[in-house]
Chain A
Amino acid sequence: MVHFLLMMNLSLKKLITAAGLFLFSDLCFFCRIRQQKDNKLLCDECYNRLKFIKEPCCFICGRPFINPNDISHTCGECIKTSRNFDSSRSIFVYESILKNNIISYKFMRDITLANVFAGFMQSYIASELENAYDIIIPVPLHKKRLRERYFNQALLIVNGVPKNNQIKVDKYSLKRIKYTSPQVFLRGEERQKNVKGAFEVSNTEAVTGKRILVVDDIYTTGSTVNECSKVLKKAGALSVNVLTLAKTNYSAR
Chain B
Amino acid sequence: MLNDFSLVLIFAFIGGIMVASILQPSLNTQPYIVGGLILFSCSSFYIYFFRDKRFFKVIFTITIFLASFVYLQARSDLGKQYTVGDYASDKNLLIEGIISSPVKRDDRGGVKFELSKCVVTRAGVKFVTTGNIQVIARKISHALEYGDLIEFQARLRIPTNSKNPGAFDYISYLKRRGIYALASIYKDDKIVSLTKSHKTGMMYYVNRLRKRTNDFIYSRGKSINKYIISALLFGNSRQINKSAHDLFVKTGTSHILAISGLHMGVISLFIYYLSIFFLKRGEKFTLKHNIIKIAYSITFFSLIFYSLLVGMRVSSIRAVIMIGVYILALLFDRAQNTLRTMFVAAFFILLAFPGSLRDVSFLLSFTAVFAILYFYPKIGSRIDSYFELSSSNYFRKRSLLQSVLKSIIVVFVLSCVINLLILPIIMYNFNYVTLTSPLINAITIPIYSLFVIPMNFVIFFFSLFYPAVGEFFLHLNEDVIRWTYYTLKFLNEHINYSFYTVTPTPLEIALYFLLVYSIFKARERTFRISAVICALLLLASGYYYNVKPYSDKNILTVDFIDVGQGESSLITFPNGKRMLIDGGGSRWKSRFDVGRDVVAKYLWKRRINKVDYILSTHPHPDHINGLFFIAENFSPEKIFIGKYDYDKKIYKNFLRKNSEKIEYLGSMNSKLEIGGAKITILKYDQSGVRSRSIDVNRSSIIVIVEQSGKKILFTGDTDSVIEARLIAKGEELDCDVLKVAHHGSRTSTSDGFLEVASPKYAVISVGENNYFHLPAEETVARLVENGVKIYRTDRDGLITLKVSDGEMSFSTMVP
Interface residues of A (CB under 8 A from B): 16, 20-29, 32-35, 41, 99-100, 103-104, 107-109, 111-112, 115, 143, 146-147, 150-152, 155-156, 171-172, 184-185
Assess the B4–A35 pair: CB atoms within 8 A.
yes
* B337 partner, pick from A23, A32, A155, A184, beta carbons under 8 A: A32
Which residue of B has the minimal Cβ distance to A184? B395
- The reply to whether A23 and B344 form a contact with Cβ atoms under 8 Å apart is yes
Enumerate chain A residues within 8 angstroms of B334, measured Cβ to Cβ. 20, 23-24, 27, 112
Q: Is the CB of B392 within 8 A of A112?
A: no
> What sequence of 0s and 1s flags, for each residue 337-368 of chain B, a beta carbon within 8 Å of any chain A beta carbon?
10011001000000000000000000000000
Contact A20 B332 (CB under 8 A): yes
Q: A104 contacts which chain B residues (CB < 8 A)? A: 391
Which B residues lie within 8 Å of A147 (CB)? 280-281, 286
Q: Which residues of B contact A100 (CB under 8 A)?
A: 391-392
Q: Please, how many angstroms separate the alpha-carbon atoms of A156 and B290 in the complex? A: 9
- The answer for the CA separation of A60 and B394 in the assembled complex, in Å, is 31
Q: Is residue B304 within 8 Å, beta carbon to beta carbon, of the partner chain?
A: no
Complex CA gap A27/B343 in Å reads 15
B329 at the interface (CB under 8 A from A): yes
Interface status of B335 (Cβ within 8 A of chain A): yes
Tell me which residues from 238 to 279 in chain B have a Cβ below 8 Å from any Cβ of chain A: 276
Can you name the residue of chain B whose Cβ is closest to the Cβ of A152? B287
Between A and B, 5 residue pairs with Cβ closer than 8 Å are: A24-B334, A32-B337, A100-B391, A111-B292, A150-B280
Q: How far is the CA of A16 from the CA of B334 in the complex (A)?
A: 12
Knowing A103-B394, A150-B280 touch, does A27 contact B340 (C-beta < 8 A)?
Answer: yes
- Minimum C-beta distance from A9 to chain B (A): 19
Contact of A99 among B284, B293, B340, B392 (CB under 8 A): B392
Cα–Cα distance between A115 and B333 once the two chains are bound (Å) = 8
Interchain CB contact (< 8 A) of A151 among B7, B292, B395:
B292
Tell me, yes or no, whether B1 is within 8 Å of chain A by CB. Answer: yes
Does B291 sit at the interface, judged by CB under 8 A? yes
Q: Which residues of A contact B328 (CB under 8 A)?
A: 23
Docked CA distance A155–B291 (Å): 13
Cβ of B3 within 8 Å of any chain A Cβ, yes or no, is: yes
Q: A20-B334, A32-B336, A156-B290 are in contact. List 7 more A-B contacts (CB 8 A).
A: A23-B6, A23-B328, A27-B336, A29-B335, A41-B335, A108-B391, A111-B292
Q: How far is the CB of A221 from chain B (nearest CB, A)?
A: 16
Closest 10 CB pairs of A and B: A24-B334, A29-B335, A100-B391, A27-B335, A32-B337, A103-B391, A22-B6, A147-B280, A171-B287, A24-B329
Q: Chain A contacts of B283 at CB under 8 A?
A: 143, 146
Chain A min CB distance to B281 (Å): 8
Determine how close the nearest CB of chain A comes to the CB of B377; give it in whole angstroms.
12
Q: A27-B335, A147-B280 are in contact. Are A172 and B287 (CB under 8 A)?
A: yes
Report the separation of the CA atoms of residues A21 and B292 in the bound assembly, to the nearest whole angstrom.
Answer: 23
**Residue in contact with A150 in the complex, picked from B286, B332, B336, B344, CB distance below 8 Å:** B286
CB neighbours of A22 from chain B (8 A): 6
Q: Within 8 Å CB of B391, what residues of A?
A: 99-100, 103-104, 108
Interface contact B335-A32, CB-CB below 8 Å: yes
User: Of the candidates B276, B329, B335, B392, which one forms a contact with A23 in the assembled complex, judged by CB atoms under 8 Å apart?
Assistant: B329
Taking CB atoms, residues of chain A closer than 8 Å to B325 are 23
Total number of B residues with any Cβ neighbor in A under 8 Å = 34
Separation of A109 and B296 alpha carbons in the complex (Å): 13
Q: Is the CB of B337 within 8 A of A150?
A: no
Q: Is A27 a contact of B337 with CB atoms below 8 Å? A: yes
Q: How many A-B residue pairs have CB under 8 A?
A: 88
B394 nearest in chain A by CB position: A103
Q: A174 CB to closest chain B CB, in angstroms?
A: 12
Q: In the assembled complex, which residues on chain A have CB atoms less than 8 Å from the CB atom of B287?
A: 146, 152, 155, 171-172
* Contact present for A112 and B6 (CB under 8 Å): no
Residues in A with CB closer than 8 Å to B291 are 150-151
Selected from B3, B286, B337, B394, the residue in CB contact (under 8 A) with A146 is B286
Chain B residues near A107 (CB-CB < 8 A) = 394
**In the assembled complex, how far is the CB of residue A219 from the closest CB belonging to chain B, in whole angstroms?**
17
Any chain A CB within 8 A of the CB of B754?
A: no
The residue of chain B having its C-beta at the shortest distance from the C-beta of A111 within the complex is B292
The reply to whether the CB of B439 lies closer than 8 angstroms to some CB of chain A is no
Q: Report yes or no: A112 in contact with B293, Cβ–Cβ below 8 A.
A: no
Shortest C-beta distance, A223 to chain B (Å), equals 17
A146 contacts B344, CB within 8 Å?
A: no
- Cβ A25 vs Cβ B7 within 8 A: yes
Whether B286 lies near A112 (C-beta < 8 A) is: no
Chain A residues closer than 8 Å to B284, beta-carbon distance: 172
Q: Which residues of A contact B340 (CB under 8 A)?
A: 24-25, 27
Between B287, B334, B335, B337, the greatest number of chain A beta carbons within 10 A of the residue's beta carbon is seen for B335
CA distance A171 to B283 in the complex (A): 11
B136, CB-defined interface residue at 8 Å: no
**CB pair B335 A28 closer than 8 Å:** yes
For the complex, give the distance between the alpha carbons of A245 and B769 in Å: 75
Are A35 and B3 in contact, CB atoms less than 8 angstroms apart?
yes
How near does chain A come to B660, taking the closest CB pair, in angstroms?
61
Q: How far is the CB of B279 from chain A (nearest CB, A)?
A: 8
Known contacts: A25-B6, A25-B7, A25-B340. The answer to whether A151 contacts B333 by CB under 8 A is: no
Q: Are A112 and B290 CB-contacts (below 8 A) given A35-B3, A103-B394, A147-B280?
A: no
Complex interface: chain A residues within 8 A of B333 (CB): 112, 115
Q: A112-B334, A151-B286 are in contact. Are A24 and B341 (CB under 8 A)?
A: yes
- Is the CB of B330 closer than 8 A to any CB of chain A? yes
- Whether the pair A109, B292 counts as a contact (CB closer than 8 A) is yes
Which has the most chain B C-beta neighbours within 10 Å: A25, A26, A34, A146? A25
Q: State which residues 1-27 of B face A: CB under 8 Å.
A: 1, 3-4, 6-7
Given contacts A23-B6, A99-B392, contact A112 B280 (CB under 8 A): no
Q: Nearest CB to that of A29 among chain B residues?
A: B335
Residues in B whose Cβ lies below 8 Å from that of A23: 6, 325, 328-329, 334, 344
Least CB distance from A72 to B in Å reads 32
In the assembled complex, the Cα of A108 lies from the Cα of B391 at a distance in Å of 9
CA distance in complex: A186, B678 (Å): 91
Q: From B293, which residue of chain A is reached at the shortest CB distance?
A: A111
A24 to B293, CA, bound (A): 17
Tell me the bound Cα distance from A29 to B335 in angstroms: 5
CB distance from A212 to the nearest CB of B (A): 18
| Cβ contacts under 8 Å, A103 to chain B | 391, 394
**Shortest Cβ gap from B341 to chain A (Å):** 7
